[in-house]
Amino acid sequence: MTSPPPDYPPPSGPGADEPPPTMVPADAAGQTRTVGQSVGTGALATARGLRGFARGTGRFGRATFRRARRAAGAQGAERSGLNRLIELAACNAAGDSAFAIALAGTIFFAGATSGERGPVLLFLGLTMVPFAIVAPLIGPFLDRFSHGRRWAIGGTFALRAFLCWVLAGTLTSGSPWFYVAALGVLVSSKAYGVAKAAAVPRLLPPEITLVKANGRVSLAGVVGAAVSAPLAGFSYWLGPEWACRYAFLVFVLGTVAAILLPAKVDSTAGEDSIEIRRGGPGRAPQGSGVPPKVAFALRANCGPRLLSGFMVMFMTFVLASEPLEGWESTTRATILVGLVVGAAGLGNTLGILVASLARKINPAVMVVVALFADIAAVLFAAVAYSLVPLVVLGLTAGLMQYLAKVSLDSTIQTDVPVRAHSSAFAKGDTTLQLAWVIGGFLGVVLSYPAVNAFGLPFVAVLLGAWTFVVLANRSGKPKPPAPPVDSSLVAR
């Protein structure tokens, strides 16, 4: 017989009541270690991937920056210093876009997006205020300060930086200084445009024309705004005041870049004073001294600029209230307006590309071509009123407006004495803005349902009549200057 197992006494002492330790099987422990190792390996791989992505993004950013700098300095622009002005234009557009985004939700620009005609008409009037200050005051001042153009351009950046910092503290407080600061930024932006246009000829390399140089400067502005807009949008998401602070940083950077422009921007060598023809003692001036080519180009530019203002306002109201067939819903009507009006912005961008890439554009011919192209596009849209003709009208209006403007700029830079450049640009921009406002006013008035069917035909006739006036008053040769007066004879 087998003896029973012996009886052992129960355990006693500390830990006698604790259950015996659980033994983990060898295979389960291995699985636990495998999971931990997998998590750690995944984390390391993720970290390496993020580092690689950061390095790749950094390399891409640096390569893009180097390519952009090479493009800015191509065709002698680096040697002449024009590349510095091109980079400054990108900085200016970056700051202006951030400022616009910061104010997008304020009542300052409420009229621009309002569906009511009254606020829009008020907005049209307000757009003239900066030009009304720049033309009679700032333009002549910049001409007298031509030996310090770098400081004048830098001053427009520094003033905007200061005002953007002020705006950051007034956006949500309701302070009346908000309107003063916002208007100051707009005026400073227009003053920069005038000073920049006057500086381009001083940095022009012999390899490119003025039209192409102006186009490259404008193209840099488009790139700068496109790069800056997402950053400004993220800042606005944090708060509108942060978008203003971001604009402040950009304008501070632009201030430094403006001061570092080449010294020949300030050179006055070879600059002549503009002569004002006078009829004699005690008589008023008989002429303004504006060269005939400049006067012709300015008159021709008024047509495309008027059409641009008309089209934006007219199409916005008409397509929103009476959309095309199949676009009746509110969402589709909004998309329709965006397609037509957005086509004008795309046309403007195409104009910048054409001006910056074309080998040669004859300014005197281009301004006439712009008039006839706009008339043809308006007639096409009026006769075949549908989506495609309206988009073609938008593209044509934006494209011709820019090509005509850049032709006017090159004409001023070539035919107007250098010491009168700023005044000429200020007066030209004011005249064109007035044409845009008149066109916008006509677009608002003719967008009412009772008369909107006559809107496009009326503008076609108006542009045709204006083209006839422009061509009929084209002056062939400038008037000869008055003969000099012998001072000895005057003394006798």
Of 160, 184, 23, which Cα lies nearest the Cα of 94? 160
Q: Is the sign of the CA dihedral 125, 126, 130, 132 positive or negative?
A: positive
Distance CA 367, CA 371 (A): 7
pLDDT of 242 reads 92
Distances (CA, A) of 195 to 72, 116, 201, 403: 20, 36, 11, 20
Per-residue pLDDT of the chain (492 residues; tens, 9 = 90+): 445 555 445 555 544 555 555 554 545 445 545 544 554 555 465 556 556 544 554 454 455 455 555 656 566 678 888 899 999 999 999 999 999 888 876 655 555 455 567 777 777 888 888 888 888 888 888 887 777 888 999 999 999 999 999 988 887 776 778 888 888 999 999 999 998 988 888 888 888 888 888 999 999 999 999 999 999 999 989 888 899 999 999 999 999 999 999 988 876 655 543 333 333 333 333 344 678 999 999 999 999 999 999 999 999 888 888 888 888 787 888 888 889 989 999 999 999 999 988 878 899 999 999 999 999 999 999 999 999 999 999 999 999 999 999 999 999 998 988 888 888 999 999 999 999 999 999 999 999 888 888 999 999 999 999 999 999 988 644 444 444 444 443 344
Identify whether the C-beta of residue 325 lies closer than 8 Å to the C-beta of residue 257: no
Furthest C-alpha separation in the chain:
163
Tokens 């191509």 appear where? 74
Amino acid identity, residue 353? L
Tokens 């950009």 appear where? 250
Distance CA 199, CA 121 (A): 35
Distance CA 321, CA 333 (A): 8
Q: Which residues contact 86 (CB under 8 A, 6 or more apart)?
A: 72, 77, 216, 217, 220
Distance CA 345, CA 157 (A): 26
